[in-house]
Structure formats: structure tokens, C-alpha cells
Amino acid sequence: MDNGMARIARDPYGCGSSATYSKDRREATCNSVIVVYQITNSELTVTVVRIAG
């Protein structure tokens, strides 16, 4: 999970992510966890709502 989150932080538009609803709302998979995040000009915030295994 940590490596996947580091990839998103380095390249939020790349890293195997895809756009959902707009180009700045992205979705990526880190191991078996789906991460949804929003990109703004000044910051990247990732909020984990729920992880179920």
C-alpha cells in the first residue's frame, strides 16, 4: 500500500490511474485496494473511506 501511495504522490495523473467524472478525480489500484483521489493545483489529498479485506 505504501509503495502504491508513493507512486500516486509522484505522478497523480499517471501511475496506472484513470479519470472518473473529470480528469482531476482519479482512481487507482494499490495492491488490492481501490484508491479514489482528487487533484488540485496546490495539493493532493487522499482520503481513505474504508478498506475491507
Give tens-digit pLDDT for 20-33: 999 989 999 888 88
Residue with cell 497523480: 12
CA angle (11, 17, 19) in 5-degree steps: 110
Q: What is the CA radius of gyration of the chain?
A: 10
pLDDT above 80 for 6? yes
Q: Cα–chain-centroid distance for residue 33? A: 10
Tell me the three cell numbers of residue 20. Answer: 472518473
Pairing outcome for strands 33-39 and 44-46: antiparallel
pLDDT, mean over the chain: 82
